[in-house]
Amino acid sequence: MYDNIVPLNETFELLQEKSDRVSTARDAASNTNKFITRPQGVLVQDSYNNPFFPIRPKPRLDTSKMDLKEVHLRYRELHSRTKSLFLPWHFCVEMVQDRYYVFNTRPLDMKFPIDSLLASSRDESKNWDEITKMFMTDKIYDINEAIHVCVVGDSNLDVYTRKIYEIIGRSCIVPTLRQYKLPGGLFQRVFGLNLGHRFNLDYIAKFIRK
């Protein structure tokens, strides 16, 4: 008679897991989800080691095939309560065949779906690198006040050419900095969070000089 009753501790875990998922209300066409003034900076991450919404176990390597569809499916599976229309990042960058492409995967006037306080309470915070911890601890700006750029794959394994730094700099970062009149130097308003050793954010510097 009691076979279907879930123990209290398991019930709490299930509720916590569900509460960690992003509600589609965060993606609704509502003024509460929009930037009130302007974005405060640009945050660059990868998908596999993502500090807020890691996409695992694959795609881990950014192959020549189109992986964005799988990223979207896994985001829905792992992090969204229902079928989200958008990804949490404003831009996703991936290689298709022999070229890097930038995809606009979230409206540019819509905030990131979680804020710094909520992000700090989630399990993913246990895997933050020192730069991410510093950024969050020093409260440089709230993560939901940033434009987010996500590189598909694992930046500890992938090999990156000059082109990816150029396309991120010129297509994602520079237009944001100019549009909102933000300082253009690295580590002023542009930060890389939880990026692996294969991705050298310093290479972007030459492409974001205004």
Q: Tell me the whole-structure pTM to 2 decimals.
A: 0.87
The predicted structure's pLDDT at residue 27: 62
Banded model confidence at residue 29, pLDDT cuts 50, 70, 90: low
> Which pLDDT tens digit goes with each residue over 56-115?
999 998 888 899 999 999 999 999 877 788 999 999 999 999 899 999 999 999 999 999
Domain presence at residue 203? yes
128-163 in b/e form (b: 16+ CB < 10 A) is beebbeebbeeebbbbbbbbbbbbbbbbeebebeee
- Residue 5's pLDDT is what? 40
In the structure, what pLDDT confidence band is assigned to residue 6 with cuts at 50, 70 and 90?
A: very low
Q: Do residues 76 and 16 touch, judged by C-beta distance below 8 A?
A: no
In a domain, 163, yes or no: yes
Question: Mean pLDDT in the chain?
Answer: 87
Task: Note the pLDDT tens digit of each residue in 35-50.
Answer: 988 999 999 999 999 9
46 is a domain residue: yes
Residue 168 lies in a domain: yes
30 lies in some domain:
no
Residue 147 in domain? yes
CATH of the domain at 167: 3.40.80
Question: Does a structural domain hold residue 196?
Answer: yes
The tally of domains found in the chain comes to 1
* Domain region containing 133: 40-207
Tell me the pLDDT tens digit for each residue of 125-168: 999 999 999 999 999 999 999 999 999 999 999 999 999 999 99
- Looking at per-residue pLDDT, the higher value among 100 and 12 belongs to 100
